[in-house]
Homo-oligomer: A and B are copies of this chain.
Amino acid sequence: MNAEIIAVGSELLLGQIVNTNARFLSQQLAELGVNVYFHTVVGDNPDRLKQALTNAEARADIILLTGGLGPTKDDLTKETIAKHLNTKLVMNPFALHSIEQFFARTRRIMTDNNKKQALVLENCHVLQNDNGMAPGMLYKQNEKIYILLPGPPKEMEPMFMTYGRQTLLKQLDTNEEIISRVLRFFGIGEAALETEIEDLIDSQTNPTIAPLASDGEVTLRLTAKHPDKNEAISLIDDVEKKIRSRVGQFFYGYDTTSLMDEAFSSLKTKGLTIACAESLTGGKFQEQFTAIPGAGDLLKGGIVCYSNEVKMDLLDINPLTIEQVGAVSEECARDLAINVANKLNSNIGISFTGVAGPSESEGKPVGTVYIGIYLKGNEPIVEKVELAGSREAIRTRAVKFGCHFLKQYLTNAQVEQS
């Protein structure tokens, strides 16, 4: 089976957005063992979309379309396909109900063109949209499979993962199981990691090993095929073992976990609460922490001590510390961690202070970061890291290092269950 991905939207042809949907779907299809031979992008134009469909039908079994399912006149994907395949659109009552509910809940007035979003191809499988209004569709005709997905990645990706993938798999009728596992590493660069396991990457065909670097992390995706699922898993287990015997000290988790998820779990497992003093990171640690449901049980809260005034007034930092060694210092990080835990009555305090740039501060270069961690009844620790990159990259990586050190600290610390 092979597939073609057609993205519909003039904003792509104007260069206003990048076609990340094609990338996402390509990765997913590769995992399902489906070859992708072409991506096409076409504008909001029925004639050219028909052209693209005709080309795709001549060379692909599965045609995935993203975009053009919205309420406006520009949105014409399903209308064009309906005409092209000589079928019709019918109102889907569930989709309509969910659109009406959306407007009722947000107290906005529902205009008539919003109803158009609930129209679907007759006899299609409807793919529910949990993050927006336009439903997706899987439709079969003349041995071809058409999958229509919304354009916004926030809607498309979860729709495909939750409903599209399974619905497609049922159609594929393959007897091979394809199993993927992502190993996540932090604290080692892509080139260095690849050098360590170069021979494995070169010699492995089942599972394959695909490295990818982003945002200071490196992942390895292991993908195995086998008619027997357990055999596929065991093939992956073997290679994982080899890899971790070489670079295991940098491994931190599987698949879609994050350093924050891991730190969160460590706290939860040990039944510890946390409070946070953020200077450099301006709230980023807590923002990411509170993105996880259940954060309220672990995070008391924190203080964004962006000004030295707030560090002194609210977090009792000694003015002499600021004067003598500065806010970007081991001493300040340590006291912030201790004092925020005491003030907010949490088990743990964590602090971030540093220079995000664009210019140096207190004579310390951009990228200097101190992270303090304190667990009541234990010695506080302060870790210094020196980070490169933009203001945003430095702040992002500082939070990652914070999570990394926190997890490490909790693994090592003697914790009395609270």
**A interface residues (Cβ-Cβ under 8 A, vs B):** 7, 10-20, 22-30, 36-43, 45, 48, 51-52, 55, 59, 70-74, 102, 105-109, 111, 113-114, 130-131, 152, 154, 189-192, 194-195, 198, 201, 210-214, 221, 276, 278, 281-287, 289-291, 293, 295-296, 299-307, 309-310, 313-314, 343-345, 356-358, 365, 367, 386-393, 395
Contacts and interface: CB of A to CB of B under 8 A. Distances in A.
B192 A111 contact: yes
A215 to B, nearest CB: 8
Nearest to A307: B300
B39 A14 contact: no
Contact of A39 (B40, B131, B287, B393): B40
Contacts of A221: 14, 16
Nearest to A21: B18
Given A105-B386, A310-B301, A191 B114 contact: yes
A301 B306 contact: yes
A291 B282 contact: yes
A132 B300 CA distance: 37
Nearest to A189: B108
A15 B38 contact: no
A285 B304 CA distance: 11
Contacts of A212: 11, 16-17
A38 B52 contact: yes
A18 B154 CA distance: 17
Contacts of A14: 26-27, 30, 36, 210, 221
B37 A105 contact: no
Nearest to A43: B37
16 contacts: A10-B210, A12-B22, A15-B23, A15-B30, A17-B212, A37-B42, A37-B48, A40-B41, A72-B190, A276-B304, A283-B283, A286-B304, A290-B356, A293-B358, A303-B314, A309-B345
Q: Sorted from nearest, which 7 A-B pairs have the closest CB atoms?
A: A283-B283, A282-B290, A15-B26, A15-B27, A39-B41, A301-B310, A283-B286
A154 to B, nearest CB: 7
A18 B20 contact: yes
Contacts of A22: 12, 15, 18-19, 41
A314 B51 CA distance: 64
A352 to B, nearest CB: 11
A213 B52 contact: no
B314 A344 contact: yes
Nearest to A42: B38
A71 B306 contact: no
A15 B182 CA distance: 13
B37 A71 contact: no
Contact of A190 (B70, B192, B285): B70
Nearest to A275: B310
A163 to B, nearest CB: 16
A254 to B, nearest CB: 15
A299 B72 CA distance: 40
Given A296-B306, A309-B345, A195 B283 contact: no
A356 B287 CA distance: 12
A152 to B, nearest CB: 7
A343 B358 contact: no
B278 A388 contact: no
B19 A388 contact: no
Most buried by B among A74, A302, A345: A302
